[in-house]
Amino acid sequence: MKKSIKNYNLDDLKEELKSINEKPFRAEQIFKWIYQDKVNSFDDMTNLSLELRKKLNDNYDLRNFKIVNKLESIDGTKKYLFDVGDEGNLIETVLMSYHHGYTICVSSQIGCKMGCKFCASTGIPFSRNLTSGEIVEQVLAIERDLNLRISNIVFMGIGEPLDNFENVMKSIQIINNPKGLNIGARHISISTSGIVPKIYELADKKLQCTLSISLHSSNNKTRSSMMPVNDAYPIKELIKACKYYIQKTNKRISFEYALAKDNNDNLDDAKELVKLLDGMLAHVNLIPINQIENGNYKKSTNENIIKFRDYLNDHGIVATIRRELGSDISAACGQLRRQHLKNK
Ligand code: SAH
């Protein structure tokens, strides 16, 4: 089987080229063709010898994703459903347009093992991890399709990025490389449901990525009822890992909190949250929960959401309410894929 060329970071590609008796600097040329010129074929890499182009054609794969479906929201958000090429596996990627540029929300796995009760990805059986090349290709495919440059990446699509740690790290190396996609770590957010040992591992890498923690509740009973991962890594351990991350990286952590009516949205919950995050370098991102089909959670009222935010702000916790984008095109995690599979 051909090896996917997009799975190599620049150093690995240099080694790979050496192993086929080619000069390592060719790796930089190939990187530029793929990530900056965005060519579709090795034959288009005109500064490589015909012999090298043949070797590449024979042994490596530069395959691009096929767009299965593309939806556009009235707010400009675009949602892509890609066929990644094996067994009709499908993934979702969302592009959001903000005044400061384009942000892409990438998937890290096909399906998810975490089983969060409020998430549309739950119920999609876990199939496999995405490779680093497939993570990067989501960015490339959209840049190619719309002829634009993406400036920010969030790992908030389908999957748990810290459950696919190696491939996610390698994709970030390709994304960061000035000869690759050249998007700085500061413009990348990794969102996790809270896999504690991996948070320590990430902290030790001292990347400048933003870490987002899907907290959703400050007490173990409610959090466990929403997120089974909390049984393995309860809140106290999670917060300890977060403090370690802050100490190692000096970066503020973003806590995601999806507000569901009568579940985690009253002032006692806000009080508990203030206590939990007291003195931490943190920001709270409040999200009106996206109601999924057959789901048990209902969106909080606007009034409650504002009260919740104001309580946090008045007690020294910086909190903002996330603008809902793309709700008319089922932009929430897993919804498009779910619909597509159902229609089939
Ligand atoms: N597995 C990772 C990243 C994917 S989910 C994680 O858990 O963080 C990305 C974000 O969307 C998470 O904060 C998740 O909790 C949130 N999310 C999932 N379903 C949601 C829904 N129905 N409403 C609001 N937020 C949701």
Beta carbon of 191 within 6 Å of any ligand 1 atom: yes
Beta carbon of 143 within 6 Å of any ligand 1 atom: no
Query: Relative to the CA of 160, which ligand 1 atom is closest?
Result: 1
Strands of 50-89, DSSP E: 60-61, 66-72, 78-83
- The pLDDT value given to residue 332: 60
Given 16, 92, 160, 256, the catalytic residue: 92
Given 105, 116, 119, 333, the catalytic residue: 333
Separation of CA 48 and ligand 1 centre (Å) = 44
Residue range 212-248, pLDDT digits in tens = 999 999 999 999 999 999 999 999 999 999 999 999 9
- The pLDDT value given to residue 331: 59
- The pLDDT value given to residue 215: 98
The percent of residues above 70 in pLDDT, for the chain, comes to 95
- The pLDDT value given to residue 330: 66
Q: Is the pLDDT of residue 335 over 70?
A: no
Q: Is the pLDDT of residue 334 over 90?
A: no
C-alpha atoms less than 13 angstroms from C-alpha of 16 in its C-beta half-sphere: 20
- The pLDDT value given to residue 177: 95
User: What are 206's two structure tokens?
Assistant: 């001292």
User: Is the model more confident about 79 or about 124?
Assistant: 79
Q: Are 75 and 326 in contact (CB under 8 A)?
A: yes
pTM of the full structure: 0.94
138: closest CA among 172, 91, 177?
Answer: 91
Beta carbon of 168 within 6 Å of any ligand 1 atom: no
Domains assigned to the chain: 3-61 (1.10.150.530), 66-343 (3.20.20.70)
Q: Can 333 be counted among the known catalytic residues?
A: yes
Q: Can 92 be counted among the known catalytic residues?
A: yes
Residue range 255-314, pLDDT digits in tens = 999 999 999 999 999 999 999 999 999 999 999 998 887 788 999 999 999 999 999 999
- The pLDDT value given to residue 125: 84
- The pLDDT value given to residue 317: 97
State the amino acid at position 162 in one-letter form.
L
Residue 344 CA to residue 336 CA, distance in Å, equals 12
Q: Are 255 and 291 in contact (CB under 8 A)?
A: no
Torsion sign across C-alpha atoms 311, 314, 318, 324: positive
> Which of 214, 216, 229, 264 has the most ligand 1 atoms within 8 A of CB, as the residue to mutate?
214
Nearby residues of 339 by Cβ (< 8 Å), 6 or more positions away: 330
